[in-house]
Amino acid sequence: MARTYGGVAPEQRRADRRQRLLTAGLELFTSTGFRHTKITEVCARAGVSTRNFYEEFTGKEDVLRTLHDQINSLALAHVTAELDKVADADAMTRIATLLDVFIATVTADPRMPRLTYVEAVGVSAELEAQHQVWVDRWANFIAAEASRAAEHGVAPVRDYRLTAIALVGAGTGLLREWQAHDPPLPVEEVGGELRAMMLAAIMRPEKILETPGNPWARSGVEESSRAGAQGGTRRT
Amino acid sequence: MARTYGGVAPEQRRADRRQRLLTAGLELFTSTGFRHTKITEVCARAGVSTRNFYEEFTGKEDVLRTLHDQINSLALAHVTAELDKVADADAMTRIATLLDVFIATVTADPRMPRLTYVEAVGVSAELEAQHQVWVDRWANFIAAEASRAAEHGVAPVRDYRLTAIALVGAGTGLLREWQAHDPPLPVEEVGGELRAMMLAAIMRPEKILETPGNPWARSGVEESSRAGAQGGTRRT
DNA sequence: GGCCTTTGGTAATCACAATTTTCACAAACT
DNA sequence: AGTTTGTGAAAATTGTGATTACCAAAGGCC
């Protein structure tokens, strides 16, 4: 049943068509918008017939979900690869690396943040669930690095789950602005801001809420860190 | 031409229908999702005919845009009202107030963050532009408070524009998670996290990037603040 | 109290895009 | 070379939901 056609295995041909459809989808979804993109337009741009389209995907949303997954996976792969290289660097360097690689990856093509943070939002319950999964993954990643920093004594020992989620949100918001802005925001400023915010959020003393004024002016992180490890009410 | 009907002025009747349509829209958009909500469903729930619908709105998106604007306006009104009450409190108290009121307002009804941060994203160019405008407003608000803090010497003097945008993003992300989470995240934890992150982001010393290790353990904010005011390269 | 105006609901129309099906062709195995 | 089968383009169909147009009824005006 599976013959080679045109000198190419059918699987290869399928894969090629699929790839072209994804490329066309990325381009059209981020320019005309997902809502206003028609399947036939995607097919036309990809040079693929609608018949073949339905062989690869169940519909428009399927393409979008796949792209969303691919972009996140790509970024995660880059980040993990780079983090492995600095496996035994100090915690703050690792956090900075995590961020720099992430920013570099997703800003390499403005269509990536556009698709992930704008077009793929509020489309369907499945996509929201997928978003949720990825936020969890990134947040766990960040929380793990923060805990590592805490072990090294450069950050308080506490639960970083919510902080990590907020940081993911900060990145999302910043990148959404970045891709929408005209004139474009400088990438290095966006990256710098995110890096600074992340470090500040992780290194901040735990009691910042209760103490009016400026706690950091009075006591260093070391002290707060120790206090957090002893008296913290949250789980570690 | 304008008679009173049923003892009520026609304008009043119109306004009532409009309000019912908006209520129905909020409910349906946040439950079945904007994309999958049909105009006839909104009309049915509102007890309004399609004819009257088109008298009030140009289409589904018009309803969504109005809701998006209303929710943001409501939050802004609450925040400004409360900030006026603490007009001459210290800067950090004002920032905390700003945040608490904001969180309290939008978490009062989970449909608000759902509509604003999920359903109204990536719908159309106009809605994206409207989003942009609101992010700008909120960011300016935050940046103004941060500058006020800087004037009082509790934060470094620097450009807070990007920090403010990132903080808006952090709030957005956190609230998006909040409304999606099951079991629900405790509101006070979300608010606390945002508050802490905001204070940390504003009070952080300027040179956090360049200095490996923990700058706060070595030097207080005062010193960094002064250094920032003198040697900062960014505009104030 | 009848007439005229405004209103609201229903029903028909209209448009558009997703999905399916058909048809023709080209490539490989025998 | 013929037959079989995967492949691609295009057309047809279908379904769905937005928009409009019409009709009935109710409310005030003279």
Q: What is the pLDDT of residues B50-83, one digit of tens each?
A: 999 999 999 999 999 999 999 999 999 999 999 9
Contact check, Cβ <8 Å, B163/A33: no
Contact check, Cβ <8 Å, B204/A209: no
The Cβ-side half-sphere exposure at B22, using a 13 Å CA radius, reads 16
Q: Average model confidence (pLDDT) for chain B?
A: 86
The answer to whether B26 and B111 have CB atoms below 8 angstroms apart is yes
Q: Average model confidence (pLDDT) for chain A?
A: 86
Contact check, Cβ <8 Å, B33/A177: no
Nucleotide nearest to A3 (CA to C1'): C28
Q: Is B196 exposed, middle or buried (0-12, 13-18, 19+ CB in 10 A)?
A: buried
Dmax over CA atoms of chain A, in Å, equals 77
Residue B5 three-state SS: strand
Q: Alpha carbon of B49 to those of A186, B15, B37, B41, B54: distances in Å?
A: 50, 14, 16, 10, 9
Any idea of the CA torsion for A211, A212, A216, A218, to the nearest 10 degrees? Answer: -90
Ramachandran angles phi, psi of A123, nearest 5°: -85, -50
Alpha carbon of residue A146 to chain centroid? 17
For residue A184, the chain B residues in CB contact (below 8 A) are none
- Per-residue pLDDT of A174-194, as tens digits, reads 999 999 998 889 999 999 999
Residue B50 three-state SS: helix
Beta-carbon contacts of residue B144 (< 8 Å; ≥ 6 apart)? none
Q: Within a 10 A sphere around the Cβ of B169, how many other Cβ atoms? A: 27
CB A80 under 7 Å to nucleic chain C: no
| Chain A / chain B CB contacts < 8 angstroms | 175
The answer to whether B82 and B75 have CB atoms below 8 angstroms apart is no
Q: What is the DSSP string of A43-98?
A: HHHHT--HHHHHHH-SSHHHHHHHHHHHHHHHHHHHHHHHHHHTTTS-HHHHHHHH
pTM: 0.86
* CA–CA separation, B55 and B132 (whole Å): 28
Beta-carbon contacts of residue B114 (< 8 Å; ≥ 6 apart)? B30, B179, B180
CB B15 under 7 Å to nucleic chain C: no
Distance in Å, alpha carbon of A103 to nearest chain B alpha carbon:
14
- Per-residue pLDDT of A123-142, as tens digits, reads 999 999 999 999 999 999 99
A contact test, residue of B208, B219, B225 with most A CBs within 10 A: B208
Nucleotide nearest to A52 (CA to C1'): D8
- Which of the four pLDDT bands, split at 50, 70 and 90, describes residue B6? low
Residue carrying structure tokens 């369907």:
A124
What pLDDT, on the 0 to 100 scale, is given for residue A160? 96
